[in-house]
Structure 1
Amino acid sequence: MNQEFDPGVPLCVDLDGTLIHTDMLHESVMVLLADNPLNVLRLPFWLLAGKAALKRKIASRVQMDPRSLPYNEPLIAWLRSERSAGRRLVLATASDERFAHSINEHLGLFDEVVASDGSINMAGRHKAAALEQRFGKGRFDYAGNATPDLTVWGSARRGVVVSASARVSKAAQQATTVEREFAAVKPNFHDWRRMLRVHQWLKNGLLFVPMLAAHQLSFALFAQVLLGVIAFSLCASSVYISNDLLDLESDRQHPRKRLRPFAAARIPIWVGCAATPLLLAASVAVGTLVGSHFLLWLGVYFAVTLAYSLGLKKLVLVDGFTLAALYTLRIVAGAAAVRHEVSFWLLAFSVFLFLSLAFVKRYAELDLMKERGREKAHGRGYEVADAPLVQTLGLASGYAAVVVLALYLNSDAMRALYQAPEWMWGAVPAVMFWISWVWLKTHRGEMHDDPVVFAIKDRTSLCVGGIFIASLVLGVVA
């Protein structure tokens, strides 16, 4: 604590980017759009009445849970020590007063709240004037983080710099005497990789399946499919980002998803909003190099993923079928990239297999909710009591995929492609075992949020995958 600490001098604390690692306007807009995406058309008209009016319009339509926000814990710990020493604390924010009071009720930390009221946007000079009117110029200290706070620091006795850039920190030292600084949270390489969900790009390897299944191996076709994989990866990342932005509150209530870059406020929301259209544009540009037929299926994939993010994920059962369709669309697009017609057998096997994996994902989430004493999965249409039924549906779908594979091995289409079809039968017990293994691990609560990630890291799954591939290769060359 500063040696010149004076309990008679109030400490005014900014909210956005200071007390919390995010911005309430950005957060509330995401909740608004998650409730109804068409609200995006209203925002420009609300803004015409001013930023304070925009914030009030949004605040009157959304409910924000203050418990889930990413708070600056080191700052809060210091503020509590200051309050214990007798210092008066004031929450001074440009966020709407409804959100500000809700946060203060949750924290129980501030003696007073100064916030935007629908008419005045309490930022910059407006905030400085309001605090001067209440306490007098130079008779309050102020904690902030951004360029608009420089005006307030100019009116304050002392300043506390929180999560500010080097430029703002230097300017604050010129505007006032800085009492204390709290370091900013800076994203690292791991955060950017998680934002893009790079590990999910492995799913796009499914685009190679039609080419391999038809035994059409050439450098030209490989290059075509590789471009398709890049296009799908960029498109998928754009949708993953938008999904994370619209699912912030749900992710923050999940023990692992809360660590995602946007949920943990490691990366600002505005970055995600800017990256989404850029990634999508890059995806379309690469997709045009593959061909118009492929681009059509890329568009279908984007439309379905967007529909899933905006609402289908909330519909019980529909979400599982949608996820299965998204996996299968990758195979269809891969066939379009090499101008090959995808077979009925491959489509049927894919649909049943991926439907089983989709239900694995949901069952794992429901099992986790049960452990945490919840009765319903947040943001989903499932209740915890649905878990046994979801498990049954998933197992049935998985074994249906095995049946389709067995029937295919007895078909004329298979005999035309494989010289030694008897070796192919090794693939049937391999798939059957893996489906059983995945569901056993899920039932034990040992499943990752994404079964694909689980399969990549699990040694047993890798061994089974090796047996499956060896069966296919022997069927061709033996």
Structure 2
Amino acid sequence: MSIANWNPSKLTLVVDLDDTLIQTDSLLENFWLAWSVKWQTPIEAVRTLARGRLALKQKLGEISAIDPARLPYNPEVLALIEQWRERGGRVALVTGATQAMADAVALHLGIFDAAHGSSGSINLTGARKARFLDETFGPGGYSYIGDAPADFPVWQGAAGAITINSSKAFQAKVERLVADAIHLPARKARLADYIQAMRPHQWLKNVLVFLPMLAAHQFGLATALQAVLGFLAFSLVASATYILNDLLDLSADRAHPRKCLRPFASGRIRLVHGTWMVPVLGAAGALVALAGGIELFAVLCLYSALTIIYSVKLKRLAMIDICALAVLYTLRVLAGSAATGVPSSLWLLAFSMFFFFSLAAVKRYAELVDGAATGRSIATGRGYCVDDRSIVGNIMVSSGLVSVLVLALYANSEPVQQLYRHPEFLWGVCLVLLFWSNRIALMTHRGAMHDDPVVFAMRDRTSLCCGLIVGLLAFAGTVA
């Protein structure tokens, strides 16, 4: 059966909002957006929830308002609404979201004859929505598009039923309520989507935990296994923080030409799943860190706390965000020391801070160059305007040069004479790093940089060749 068999003069097509018209949940959208605006949001949300879900929706709406233009709309539902309108049928948006949210979506799309949402003390869901529809359109005077068990009472009084993203069992229950129900295609997240959300390619950054043992030439099996524990712990927690950052950045990501394709921003993964993935991955990482020792656990906790503060606040503060990113990189090095018991030398820490400061500046400079190319005057969700790119570019280049200088001074220091048979090979490392850092700056200036320089380096043949040469030079200096 199709809507062609329905009489548009007698029926109103009623459309639900969450996970139906939009491929997301407006309550969770509002929660994450509100948290990105106000760090106290989780505390206020817990307090407000004691007064009910409607009070929570209204409170979150007071803190921040969702931009309906950036929501991921379901193309199948939009196409069906257009078909119904072409036949002269009326369409109404009826949702458990607030009235303000319903009005904003209806105004943006311009395809609804009426929009009704929760207001006052009435949460327009389940049986309350069913009674409202019977009173407004009359029993059997509407067909309803929905997706959740809470919609069963609505379908009991509806003349027609349309489901979306539903299982076979769910569809069978609806068909027992409404004969000849219509089922739009199910949108199922793939395993690959969840893996992409965890960003395993970013785990490459966590090889920094091996740096202290490599720099000190401590290659024992026990030391390596402890470093592996540190790597696993940081990878799990890093994935949790990446997901957290994506949830907080939903609106900004949807305004970005590439980030809008991320699993949560595009609506491929439900926000409720991402909300659970954060604590599960974080807890798993914490357990692995505890197995590696209390010092590793302490560094991981510090890393997690700083990452959350960065995601909620610091990333919107110019220059502070770059400093925070550099510290987060360097904490991985310190985690390697905590896991293996091999201390990080002052030389290593000095090089790390300047080198990672440069990489953090590359990340921001790439966003500003991209903004200039697309005609934007500010970097969405950041504390910079496009005109700042010359200053950020200078920071990017100068920090990279200072890191090479530190390495050059280290190559002539006393510890090197003890660790390397032929320390002169380290001057070759300095030359390669000098070339690579300046090439990265040039590529970024030309707009050829990925959103993340580490991802760019993984896919760039020249960068991979530079990494291989650095490894060979270090090995030659040790054994030649």
Question: Displacement, 1:437?
Answer: 1.2
Tell me the residue number matched to 2:367.
365
1:294-313: CA deviations, max 9, x gaps? 22211111111111111010
- Equivalent residues in 2 for 1:253-402, closer than 5 Å: 253-402=255-404
Would you say the 8 A contact 2:101–2:117 is kept in 1? no
Question: Displacement, 1:207?
Answer: 0.5
Q: Which of the numbers 135, 157, 160 marks the counterpart of 2:159?
A: 157
SS at match of 2:182: strand
SS at match of 1:40: helix
- Determine the C-alpha separation between the residues in 2 that align with 1:240 and 1:108: 35
Question: Displacement, 1:22?
Answer: 0.7
Would you say the 8 A contact 1:376–1:384 is kept in 2? yes
SS at match of 1:263: helix
Question: Displacement, 1:179?
Answer: 4.6
Shifted more, 259-268 versus 395-404: the winner is 259-268
- Determine the C-alpha separation between the residues in 2 that align with 1:12 and 1:458: 51
- Equivalent residues in 2 for 1:167-186, closer than 5 Å: 167-186=169-188
Tell me the residue number matched to 2:29.
27
Tell me the residue number matched to 2:230.
228
Question: Displacement, 1:239?
Answer: 1.1
Tell me the residue number matched to 1:14.
16
- Determine the C-alpha separation between the residues in 1 that align with 2:180 and 2:103: 28
- Determine the C-alpha separation between the residues in 2 that align with 1:83 and 1:73: 15
Tell me the residue number matched to 2:479.
477
Would you say the 8 A contact 1:424–1:474 is kept in 2? no
Q: Which of the numbers 77, 98, 101 marks the counterpart of 1:99?
A: 101
Would you say the 8 A contact 2:175–2:181 is kept in 1? no
AA of the residue aligned to 1:275: M
Would you say the 8 A contact 2:310–2:321 is kept in 1? yes
Question: Displacement, 1:3?
Answer: 4.1
Q: Which of the numbers 84, 87, 103 marks the counterpart of 1:85?
A: 87
Would you say the 8 A contact 1:160–1:178 is kept in 2? no
1:201-244: CA deviations, max 9, x gaps? 11111100110111110111111100110111111111111111
- Determine the C-alpha separation between the residues in 2 that align with 1:245 and 1:230: 23
- Determine the C-alpha separation between the residues in 1 that align with 2:31 and 2:211: 40
1:293-336: CA deviations, max 9, x gaps? 22221111111111111101011011111111111111111012
- Determine the C-alpha separation between the residues in 2 that align with 1:51 and 1:189: 31
- Determine the C-alpha separation between the residues in 1 that align with 2:190 and 2:183: 21
- Moved >4 Å (runs of 4+): none
Structure 1 residue 141 corresponds to structure 2 residue 143: yes
Tell me the residue number matched to 1:446.
448
Tell me the residue number matched to 2:412.
410
- Determine the C-alpha separation between the residues in 2 that align with 1:468 and 1:3: 68
- Determine the C-alpha separation between the residues in 2 that align with 1:387 and 1:251: 20
Would you say the 8 A contact 1:355–1:394 is kept in 2? yes
- Determine the C-alpha separation between the residues in 1 that align with 2:68 and 2:372: 23
Question: Displacement, 1:164?
Answer: 2.0
Structure 1 residue 206 corresponds to structure 2 residue 208: yes
Question: CA distance change for structure 1 residues 277 and 411 in 2, over 3 Å: closer, same or farther?
Answer: same
SS at match of 1:42: helix
Tell me the residue number matched to 1:36.
38
AA of the residue aligned to 2:307: T
Structure 1: tracts of 5 or more residues without a match: none
Question: CA distance change for structure 1 residues 423 and 60 in 2, over 3 Å: closer, same or farther?
Answer: closer
TM-score normalised to structure 2 length: 0.97
- Determine the C-alpha separation between the residues in 2 that align with 1:80 and 1:57: 34
- Determine the C-alpha separation between the residues in 1 that align with 2:211 and 2:192: 30
- Determine the C-alpha separation between the residues in 2 that align with 1:34 and 1:303: 15
AA of the residue aligned to 2:8: P
Tell me the residue number matched to 1:465.
467
Question: Displacement, 1:178?
Answer: 4.0
- Determine the C-alpha separation between the residues in 2 that align with 1:190 and 1:256: 18
Cα RMSD of the aligned pairs, angstroms, is 1.2
Identity over aligned residues, as a percent? 43
Tell me the residue number matched to 1:436.
438
Question: Displacement, 1:408?
Answer: 0.8
- Determine the C-alpha separation between the residues in 2 that align with 1:279 and 1:105: 39
- Determine the C-alpha separation between the residues in 1 that align with 2:462 and 2:154: 60
Tell me the residue number matched to 1:215.
217
Would you say the 8 A contact 1:159–1:176 is kept in 2? yes
Question: Displacement, 1:63?
Answer: 1.5
TM-score normalised to structure 1 length: 0.98
SS at match of 1:91: strand
AA of the residue aligned to 1:467: I
